Amino acid sequence: MAELAIPVPHRAVERSAAHLWVVPPLLVLGALFFYPLFLIARQALTGGQATVTLSHFAAVLGSPMFRNALFHTITIAVSATAGCLILGFVFSLIIAFIPFPGAKLMSRLIDTSIALPTFLVALSFTFIYGSAGILNESLMHLLHLRLPPIDFLYSQWGVILSEVTVYTPFVMRPLLAAFSQIDPAQIEVASSLGARFWRIVRQIILPAALPALLAGGSLCLLLTVNEFGIVLFIGAKDVITLPLLIYEKAIQEFDYTAACVIAVVNLTLSLGLYALYRLVVAHFGGRRAGLV
């Protein structure tokens, strides 16, 4: 019998053993990521019962509260992303093309600010723009006013301003990387031929920076759609976003089925934006977009 045994090639054994390395990460991902997501989807589709139904989706998606949260989520995300793109492009232009002392330090600070928690900005803004903040107290004292004249922080605009402050570095980082790849000779030649600053920006710098701008904008849109800490910390009146609505339904009202339905919608929206981000990066190339 031993003579009839088919010998297994050494390389085939090594290839089979190598395939086993996929098991540990799959087990970890399954336990920590996919199984919890499955539980959320199951709760949304069954409501804790034995039958699968879409009635829970119909009830939640048709409610004014959900439509209001979706409207605020999209409005805040689009407005904050537009602010990040404008502010990030202008600041990157200044740091990259206008020589001044401390430009490198400024670039390092931008990298560092990415590591800070998002609610920290909202907390710091209360000391400046809050009802008892530095700005309001100074204006009340200067103009002899009885009430604070600036009252935008605890509104949708306060959330947008905080998100612009937090997420602008996510646009600037790929932009600065893209600007570093522009040949200075192009700008010098254009300048020697009489091209003004804004014409150089429009015809040389902006086309070269467009991939990084689109990639950074897509990433900002993805992050601002899912922002929770800033919205919760600002506590803007009547401003409810999808992540905040999930929190309210699950933690305050114990309505886990509605929370899971909204979570599935939020997840679908996030995956769609992430696919858009990957498409942008793949279309222009990660290296060209300054993302790798």
Q: Report angle CA 152, 67, 43 to the nearest 5 degrees.
A: 120
Q: Report angle CA 202, 157, 88 to the nearest 5 degrees.
A: 25
* pTM > 0.85: no
Amino acid sitting at position 6:
I
Q: How is residue 181 written in tokens?
A: 């790849």
Nearest-10 crossing angle of helices 156-179, 119-129: 120
Q: Does domain 67-239 have CATH number 1.10.3720.10?
A: yes
C-alpha torsion sign, points 168, 174, 180, 181: negative
Residues 6 or more apart from 23 whose CB is under 8 A from it? none
C-alpha torsion sign, points 265, 268, 241, 119: positive
Decide: 260 and 41 in contact? Cβ < 8 Å.
yes
Task: Tell me the CA end-to-end span of the chain in Å, nearest whole number.
Answer: 57
Amino acid sitting at position 153:
L
E strands in the chain: none
Q: What is the pLDDT along the chain (292 residues), one digit of tens a residue?
A: 445 555 555 666 666 677 788 888 899 999 888 999 999 999 999 988 888 889 999 999 999 999 999 999 999 999 999 999 999 999 999 988 888 888 788 878 877 877 788 888 888 888 888 888 888 889 888 888 888 888 888 889 999 999 999 999 999 988 988 888 888 888 888 888 888 888 888 888 888 888 888 888 988 998 999 999 899 888 877 889 999 999 999 998 999 999 999 999 999 999 988 888 788 777 765 555 444 4
